[in-house]
Amino acid sequence: MRIGVGLPAAVPDVDATTIGDWAAEAEQAGFASVGVIDRLVYDNIEPLTALAAAASRTQRVELLTTVLNVGWRANPVLLAKQIASVELLSGGRLTAGLGLGGWPDDFVASEVPTSAGGARMTSALATMRQAWAGELQGGGGPMRRLPADRPTLLFGGLVPAAYVRAATEGQGWVAPLFGLQFLRDGAKAVRQAWTDAERTGRPRIVTGRYFGLGDADGVADDYLRHYYGEQFFPAARADTLTSAARVREELDLLADAGVTDVVLYPMTGDRRQIERLAQALSDRLPVTTSPSSTASAVHC
């Protein structure tokens, strides 16, 4: 299982100028990826912009969105351009996990209805693939063509159609950041859909967990209440990792559930969290000697 670390782009009041430093230190520590989550009406850094900053300071790590919300982004050509730009800036390291989005305020602010989300995703995906293939013509010619298999796509969602889309339109599925049973049920459904589609290999099963090490219980409570509200706080808090032992225990549970990639998301912008996490996982991370280390994978 590959272990990544999230960027603090969704931590309120974070110093945005430290995003690149965070990514560089995560790469040097040996993590396989850096990830972002997505909100619109919230105090966060736009996720693709955060990944562009990360791309400029790193050479190896995969850049992951878990997930980027397509449902309320009403211009799929613009979104295709933004995704392609991060893909090009990073030298082909972007993996775009795509979802519909579940926060009503984001749809209201975007003047996009929450209904017919599946059809909107299908239409947006078709348009984006046309753009990446250089098939959308303008007065100055098409957008820059990307290789046929780029960017790597994953899909989120907790309904049967989402599992099928993850198995037939992408390279796998992104599970929510909490809820082990949701993960187990969804992974099973995606693997079955993958088999039904007669695809070779196996799908990627990607998820995330929040973490905070070093007297972080109070920080965790404050952050999760602020982000999720009281309705979702108990479920999110139950799967949040605030000790080295809990980090290791949870990673073992995720591996047993078939997860191929996990991104551990911080609840503070304090870069000491990277060092603490790396120490907690010292026997599961590759040894690196410089930010330009060419270590290719992180296992647990």
Residue whose tokens read 């120490």: 279
If you average pLDDT over residues 10-18, what whole number do you get?
98
Whole-number Å distance between alpha carbons of 262 and 254: 8
pLDDT in tens, 269-286: 999 999 999 999 999 998
pLDDT in tens, 205-229: 999 999 999 988 899 999 999 999 9
DSSP string for 18-67: GHHHHHHHHHHHT-SEEEE---SSSSS--HHHHHHHHHHH-SS-EEEEEE
Q: Per-residue pLDDT for 116 more than 80?
A: yes
Q: What is the mean pLDDT of the chain?
A: 95
Res 289: pLDDT: 47
pLDDT in tens, 30-65: 999 999 999 999 999 999 999 999 999 999 999 999
Res 288: pLDDT: 63
The CB density around residue 36, as the number of other CB atoms within 10 Å, is 28
| Residue 95 phi, psi dihedral angles, 5° rounding | -120, 115
* Domains (range + CATH), the chain: 2-280 (3.20.20.30)
Q: Which of 246, 252, 239 is nearest to 300 (CA)?
A: 252
